Structures are given as structure tokens and as C-alpha cells.
Amino acid sequence: MKRHALAALLCGLGLAGCATMDDGAAEKRLVEILKRDFHEKGIAKLDRLDQDAVQQSCTKFNNNPPHGGPGGIDRLEAEQMAAIKWPADGKFIGDWKNGEKLAQDGRGMTWTDKAGAPAGGNCYNCHQLAPKELSFGTIGPSLYHYGKSRGNSPEVQKYTFGKIFNAKAYNLCTNMPRFGYHGVLTEAQIKDLVALLLDPASPVNN
């Protein structure tokens, strides 16, 4: 949402004084409302409403931050890249069959889930992958023939693992979740998704 639209949103909610609010005041007021009206339940805590430096920069600059400066793309992407935890064994590919199950599974991180319970990748919610699956989202690009078009080199394997672990290291304001960075998926699960995308036997590449 554009920052200058926050005041208009508050006006639409019928809040007094909205006409005189600047962007900063409107944003602060909106956060206050969210924290007032949302309640913690189970593993869903209010800290989910807190923006980190990456989210703050993308919000402030309407998903187009400058390259330089403390809130710029260069610095923040470098910090996100440094936060990627690469596999200690140097291997990036797991089992594509497990990866397909993960791609189909959207469970996890809701208030009804138990802390530490395995979560799914929910990949089809945003991407096309295997052609036999007719239900898929279009928020992200099609990943059909991902490995077939890119090959299976060590560099591609590492890039794919890193992109799933923390997509914001490669594109700061992407909509893609930071699966590994936030602990949504384990290292083994990410390896399985890499296999789904790159293994020649995977339905993604056939």
C-alpha cells in the first residue's frame, strides 16, 4: 500500500481528524489500530505486525527503494544474503517427491498449529509447477520447466536454495516469503523443493 494512501484509508474507516494526517501520522495510527484490534492466539503473536528494516524500506519507498543509503537496496540485500544459512554438507538437492508434497501443502503458521509443527511450502498458491496440477496462482512466475531451461549446475542449485531460503536477498521487495529466514521451512524441506525444481525426473521438468 502506498504511504500517501494510508490517510485516505483511515478516512474510509471513519476516523476523526484523518484529513489533517500526513503520511507518517497516518501510518502510525494504522499500526495502532491493527495492534488494538488484532489479538494473539496460539502461535500467532502480535510481533507479526512489526516490520523489519526490509519491510519498512519497501513500504516507505513504495517497493522501489534507492540503491544507496541505510534503507537502500544495496545494503539491505547484502544483509539478507549474509543471513542465508547454507547447508553444512554443501548439498542443495533432496527428494523431489517430498518436494511435490510440500508444494501442495499450505498448512502451517496459523493459530491452530502447534509451535514447531512442520509447515508446507504452499508453492502452487503463487506458481505453476507441474503441468498436471490445474489449480495454481499467478502472483509469481511460472516455474514449469525451471530446471530444464536453467540446467542443474552447482551455481543454479545454490541460487535456487538461496532464493527459497530468503528471496529478499535477490529482490528486496519481492512478494515471496522468506521461508528459511523465518524458520517456516527446514533445510531438508528446502532441499526437497530444490529437487522438485531441478531434478530431471521431477514433473516440473517433464
DSSP state of 200: T
List 174's β-bridge partners, or say none: none
**Under 8 Å between Cβ of 141 and 127:** yes
**Helix, strand, coil content of the chain in percent (nearest 5):** 45, 0, 50
DSSP letters for 128-153: --STT------SS---TTHHHHH---
Amino acid, single-letter form, for residue 77 = E
| Tens-binned pLDDT, residue by residue, of the chain (206 aa) | 455 555 555 555 555 555 556 667 887 888 889 889 999 999 999 898 899 999 999 999 999 999 999 999 999 999 999 999 999 999 999 999 999 999 999 999 999 999 989 999 999 999 999 999 999 999 999 999 999 999 999 999 999 999 999 999 999 999 999 999 999 999 999 999 999 999 999 999 99
Measured in degrees and rounded to the nearest 5, phi and psi for residue 134 equal -90, -15
CA distance 201 to 198: 9
Measured in degrees and rounded to the nearest 5, phi and psi for residue 44 equal -85, 100
All structural domains of the chain: 3-82 (no CATH), 96-205 (1.10.760.10)
How high is the pLDDT of residue 28?
Answer: 83
How high is the pLDDT of residue 27?
Answer: 79
List 20's β-bridge partners, or say none: none
- What angle (nearest 5°) sits at the alpha carbon of residue 204, between those of residues 131 and 120? 95
14: Cβ–Cβ under 8 A, 6 or more apart, which residues?
none
3-class SS at 193? helix
How high is the pLDDT of residue 11?
Answer: 56
